[in-house]
Amino acid sequence: MPTSAPPVCLTDFVAAASALSDRHAQLADCVEAIAPLMLRLVEQAHTFLEPAHFQSSPIGYSRNLIYNAPDESLSLYSIVWLPGQWTPVHDHGSWGVVGVVEGVLEERNYVRLTPERGADAGIELARGGVILLGKGAVTSFVPNPDHIHVTGVPAERPRAVSLHLYGRTMSSFNIYDVAARTRRRIEVAHNES
Ligand SMILES: [Fe+2]
């Protein structure tokens, strides 16, 4: 096997996740089926994560690409969160399955009170609950209704590293200005290994 080939557990995970994604038209069924695979993948993360997947930046959380499907139907990233680094309020417009490799990842949820899902203005959000995801934990989400959240690590907690599988190449997502009640699409960068 060439040294550049991905480890078997990662290859198997991607193949299985892709097959399950194709099989399940209902996205809730899709993430339900893939979540147990992510549970196993995070347990084996030390066998395939490379130094490049632990890249971090003092500027903000770092998204390190692990796999991107040729047809852009699936993507997997390791995200490194230094203390005090957070996303904006956002949704992905996609399903996702997240597993924690190191540290405690915090997710703060929002609930959209206005019913128009496609609207980009006049959006009223209420703060919802918080989820603390320790090492080995797995969470997932589906769009429609949008899963609106902030993810990160408070300044007083150590670094966290998490794996994020999405149902498309996650090169953009929707961010919200809660006070202005608006939403807009932005491009998001990542590191290639
Ligand atoms: Fe997110």
The residue type of 166 is Y
pLDDT for the residue 119: 86
> 90 CA distance to ligand 1 centroid (A)?
6
> 97 CA distance to ligand 1 centroid (A)?
10
Sign of CA dihedral 184, 99, 3, 70: negative
Sign of CA dihedral 137, 16, 81, 139: negative
> 84 CA distance to ligand 1 centroid (A)?
16
Q: What is the pLDDT along the chain (193 residues), one digit of tens a residue?
A: 445 667 779 999 999 999 999 999 999 999 999 999 999 999 999 999 999 999 999 999 999 999 999 999 999 999 999 999 999 999 999 999 999 999 999 999 999 998 777 789 999 999 999 999 999 999 999 998 889 999 999 999 999 999 999 999 999 999 999 999 999 999 998 998 7
> 5 CA distance to ligand 1 centroid (A)?
29
> 114 CA distance to ligand 1 centroid (A)?
21
pLDDT for the residue 193: 75
- CA distance linking residue 190 with residue 113, whole number of Å: 32
> 166 CA distance to ligand 1 centroid (A)?
10
> 1 CA distance to ligand 1 centroid (A)?
35
pLDDT for the residue 145: 86
> 92 CA distance to ligand 1 centroid (A)?
6
Q: Are 48 and 99 in contact (CB under 8 A)?
A: no
Q: pTM to 2 decimals? A: 0.94
> 188 CA distance to ligand 1 centroid (A)?
12
> 19 CA distance to ligand 1 centroid (A)?
23
> 60 CA distance to ligand 1 centroid (A)?
14
Phi, psi of 38 (to 5 degrees): -65, -35
> 149 CA distance to ligand 1 centroid (A)?
6
pLDDT for the residue 8: 73
- CA distance linking residue 49 with residue 161, whole number of Å: 11
DSSP 106-119: EEEEEEE-S--TT-
> 15 CA distance to ligand 1 centroid (A)?
23
pLDDT for the residue 1: 44
